[in-house]
Amino acid sequence: MIHGKRIFLFPLILLALALAHSPLLAASHEEHQHGGHEHHMKAEAAADTGQEPVFSAMPAPGKKVSIGNGGYLIYGFDKKPKMGTVIMKVEVFSADGKKDTSLEILGDSGMPSMRGAHETGDLPFKLSQKGDYLLPVNIVMPGDWEIRLTIKKDGQVVYRGSYKFDV
């Protein structure tokens, strides 16, 4: 009986070895290797662009926040942040104290303790007729929240700031 099992196993081993080197499996294996290499290349490209952007902590609403070159912003909300929608308002002033409406402001809101669950991604602030930058922020649950601002002038980032609050 043992001799019979050996005769049966030997052809199975040969078949397994032959299939491992067949073009179908080889192509599949190459694609898998290429996909892994591609993923590694993407990771390297992301690493080449640097670290995650750094957002400096902003003071409480209503305070001046320096954005460089003598310019500053003052931000606030239409009401105390709570469940529902609140409007964040940002006023930007140049070094001479005049409103600056030439900027692009992006806002990303979310819950730091639940990264990836509630982030909006960068949304553009809308410029009002009064020259205020406005962004609706949807607060969908109680907890810790953060709004991160990115301010650009002529396509270049001039300031990144973050305001954290609890609802």
What pLDDT digit, counting tens, does each position of 105-128 carry? 999 999 988 777 767 889 999 999
What pLDDT digit, counting tens, does each position of 129-151 carry? 999 999 999 999 999 999 999 99
**In the chain, what are the domain boundaries?**
2-48, 56-166
Q: In the CATH scheme, what is the code of domain 56-166?
A: 2.60.40.1930
**Quick one: tokens of 59?**
């003071």
What pLDDT digit, counting tens, does each position of 38-56 carry? 333 333 333 455 688 999 9
Q: How many CB atoms lie within 10 A of CB 42?
A: 10
Q: Report whether 88 contacts 71 (CB < 8 A).
A: no
